[in-house]
Structure 1
């Protein structure tokens, strides 16, 4: 799934708090590029950081078969919510390194999906720190779930896990929650009819 998500101009307001994004380029964001994430700092406060989109676990090392980290990351743009707590790549981060990826819309199969009132939301994500010869690198992935009716209508079999309220953001980021039980209801598809669908115009 080659998700593209667009950052709001100015600041993420409403339930995501007022976090200035002036240092982050606007427009679309793509896998293997730098993307904005909201995560808890060491002080327990939310902060805006930048991560490379394409998860890289701490234990990954270059090998003859896979000398470049990007090859591994291409398999880790998204994490299936159904197995994220048990898959070796993600299970440690699921317990202690969850994050939010702020957005106002996403793209699948040449269609944009957004809320009718264009309100911001967040993708549920995970982040990780990897140490290599090129230094310390922060990477992330976003979680996916079964599609709702709108996403299914364009022929796609997965959709991002979308969080909408302060209560959902707080629960997802809560460092005291380390098992999937309290998070299960967050990792479900949006209700059918929740999203507006807009075909992406073709340039000739």
Structure 2
């Protein structure tokens, strides 16, 4: 599951990081709390030198009216599902992120939000699929984020995680054939992801401010005590 994202890197740094130019109508605005139904900035295989904003939630092509759409797709079965099949075959994309959020329920208690980020990289890429829903009076460019089994870090928080791509695999994800991309849909293999507890202010999407990413109690601690190995 990946139900909340952020992207607050400066535009110039974002463009330099992905060697692409922001072309979004209205420009780029840093976001600390991006919720489903909002726009995600993405880089598609058809325009790898452009960063554009797509609706977060892939709308089924058979839908008569626009809807919120499907925010996540299981990478293990996306190629088999009718709703994702065409996008899987020919429409991969990168979803830049400054960190995503997940919630842990210790012993069935209240859900505790965590921020998951890459300390050595102010923006990394998650694997996604994009599509264009066509209605009678409008078209909507939309995107879903692929998920996979958790790595050791994420296993202590939740039983799924987005497909976070190593930096050297980002261009392959956009350019490769479906079988090669399938092989890239693995739990993030490197040890440079980290996580820390944040306050529940992230639960409200209206709280789209820098305070969202502040460590709980202002102590940025990792998950060593929770790690499964």
Q: Scaled by the length of structure 2, what TM-score is found?
A: 0.74
Per-residue CA shift, 1:83-119, capped at 9, x if unaligned? 0111111011111111111112111010001112244
Please say if 1:163 is aligned against 2:184: no
Looking at structure 2, the residues matched to 61 and 202 of structure 1 have their Cα atoms a distance apart, in angstroms, of 36
Looking at structure 2, the residues matched to 34 and 23 of structure 1 have their Cα atoms a distance apart, in angstroms, of 12
SS at the partner of 2:195?
Answer: strand
Match of 1:29 in 2: 34
Report the CA distance shift for 1:160/1:16 in structure 2 as closer, same or farther (over 3 A): same
Report the CA distance shift for 1:137/1:20 in structure 2 as closer, same or farther (over 3 A): closer
Q: Do the aligned partners of 1:98 and 1:172 also contact (CA within 8 Å) in 2?
A: yes
Report the CA distance shift for 1:2/1:170 in structure 2 as closer, same or farther (over 3 A): closer
Q: Output aligned runs, 1:91-110, within 5 Å.
A: 91-109=85-103, 110=113
Task: Give the superposition deviation at 1:134.
Answer: 4.2
Task: Give the superposition deviation at 1:185.
Answer: 2.8
Looking at structure 1, the residues matched to 10 and 159 of structure 2 have their Cα atoms a distance apart, in angstroms, of 30
Structure that is richer in helix per residue:
2
Report the CA distance shift for 1:134/1:146 in structure 2 as closer, same or farther (over 3 A): same
Matched pairs, number = 187
Report the CA distance shift for 1:198/1:91 in structure 2 as closer, same or farther (over 3 A): same
Please say if 1:141 is aligned against 2:151: no
Please say if 1:187 is aligned against 2:195: no
Task: Give the superposition deviation at 1:57.
Answer: 2.8
Looking at structure 2, the residues matched to 111 and 33 of structure 1 have their Cα atoms a distance apart, in angstroms, of 20
Looking at structure 2, the residues matched to 192 and 46 of structure 1 have their Cα atoms a distance apart, in angstroms, of 26
Looking at structure 2, the residues matched to 202 and 88 of structure 1 have their Cα atoms a distance apart, in angstroms, of 36
Q: Do the aligned partners of 2:100 and 2:115 also contact (CA within 8 Å) in 1?
A: yes
Please say if 1:84 is aligned against 2:82: no
Structure 1: segments with no counterpart, 5+ residues: 63-67
Please say if 1:132 is aligned against 2:126: no
Task: Give the superposition deviation at 1:34.
Answer: 1.2
Q: Do the aligned partners of 1:57 and 1:128 also contact (CA within 8 Å) in 2?
A: no
Task: Give the superposition deviation at 1:15.
Answer: 5.0
Task: Give the superposition deviation at 1:182.
Answer: 1.1
